[in-house]
Amino acid sequence: MDINELTIDQNLLERINPVFNTAKMTLYQLSAAGDQDAARISEKLGLTLESTNRVSTPEEMIHNIIVMETRFRTMGALAEETGFTEVDLPCGYTPRAIELARKGKRFVGLDLPAAIAEAEPAITSLIDDDKRYLVRFEGCDATNYESLKKAFDSIPGEVCITTEGLLMYFTDSEAGQLCDNIRRILQQHGGCWITADPETAIQFILTTRAIYGDRFMEVLLKDQKQVQDKSDVPVTSKTLVVNPANAEENIRNAMMFLAKHGLKAERMIVGEHAPELASLKMATPEQTEAIRQTMRQYAYWKITPIAGKQLDTTGSKSEHFDVKAELDGEKLNLQLFGRLDTLTAPALIAFFEKTTGENTVREVDVDCVALDYLSSAGLRALLMMHKKSEKGVTLRNINEVVREILQQTAFDSILNIAE
């Protein structure tokens, strides 16, 4: 069976990459904040409050809408100030392309292929015919350099790469790959990377305190439990996402992490750059004032390459992926080649589900000797196979790169590891 010829439906893609629902929730929250373009996209996609939102009270809804609009509007303003072509990674389903096209400015939206397949037709249909040439969408994997490079090759001039809500889903290994890739892109094109992600937890906590007052800790503990309950593995810390409990040290560590990957960051205080927010009309005057005060206490980061610093990129692998499979009785033997990431993991699961639909499979043995890289989507694919096999998944011949990823994510204590 040729794994590249398997049919992969939208449902499977969303099971491998469940962040699609979060992206749709972002769109709906922007719509609820009064963004007419977001409302039109939501209507095109048939989104409803029930299908996109997990909050249970009006107070929670107001809180999430304010956090989301602050991030979306401020990031948009910072990107426009650069004058460069904005490349939004991941672009999700947000209306930024419509807004920029209306102003006669170029926009490139990058996301997982499944998200692009759904978002692009809905969004471009809402852009005037004579402005559509300004907007382009492309599917890619942010940790895969060849995939990312293809998307940037046709962009003229300097670029402003924006990321919102990406780094919290990445392991440190994936974040390192992303940093290396963005540094290489910026060295070729010029420009900058602006991200809201490093201090997003600080923003969330301070906004929670401004909205809930003395009850904010109760709300935070509830939210933490919901996140853990929905996670397949224990929620682990990430170097590029600052822990508010030790913010100063964590910011230093994040800056050092960037420096190891040839990047430097400038903190841009949100209160100095945030435009007017429609969502603040939902809050009381006291809450609004408290929220404005909190905006002076956290920043979004503008990241650029360190001049003259060249790093070794010989370890960067291609986007190639392949599987050799053999059924030995009720044991499925697999050998994986290349990168198991967001682009290739769905094919592996499609192959596994087709095989188990036609045969009895009680255990899966995976030879990793030729596996170059393993992303969180790849880990999720292995976990899906592990849960559906009576004796689980056993990994053998693990190289140091894969071993480090397994240890960082605690998957070495979930999957069977043959030493």
> What band does 8 get if pLDDT is binned at 50, 70 and 90?
low
Q: Are 149 and 287 in the same domain? A: yes
**289 and 366 share a domain?**
no
pLDDT class of 19 with cuts at 50, 70, 90: low
Output the six-digit token pair for 66: 């304010």
Taking only the tens place, the pLDDT of each residue in 161-202 is: 999 988 888 888 889 999 999 999 999 999 999 999 999 999
Q: Distance between CA 413 and CA 376 in Å, rounded?
A: 16
Tell me how far CA of residue 217 lies from CA of 63, 66, 102, 135, 329, in angstroms.
Answer: 14, 18, 42, 43, 54
Residue 315 lies in a domain: no
| Boundary-marking domain end, from 274, 305, 336 | 305
Counting the structural domains of the chain, the total is 2
Q: Report the pLDDT value the prediction gives residue 310, as an integer from 0 to 100.
A: 57
How confident is the model at residue 233, as a pLDDT?
Answer: 43
Question: In CATH, what number is assigned to the domain containing residue 327?
Answer: 3.30.750.24
Q: Note whether 10 and 159 are same-domain residues.
A: yes
Q: Are residues 213 and 106 in the same domain?
A: yes
Q: Which domain holds residue 409?
A: 321-417
Q: Which of 271, 305, 339 is a domain's end point?
A: 305
290-323: pLDDT as tens digits? 999 999 999 999 999 998 755 554 444 445 788 8
pLDDT for the residue numbered 316? 44
Residues 182 and 35 in one domain: yes
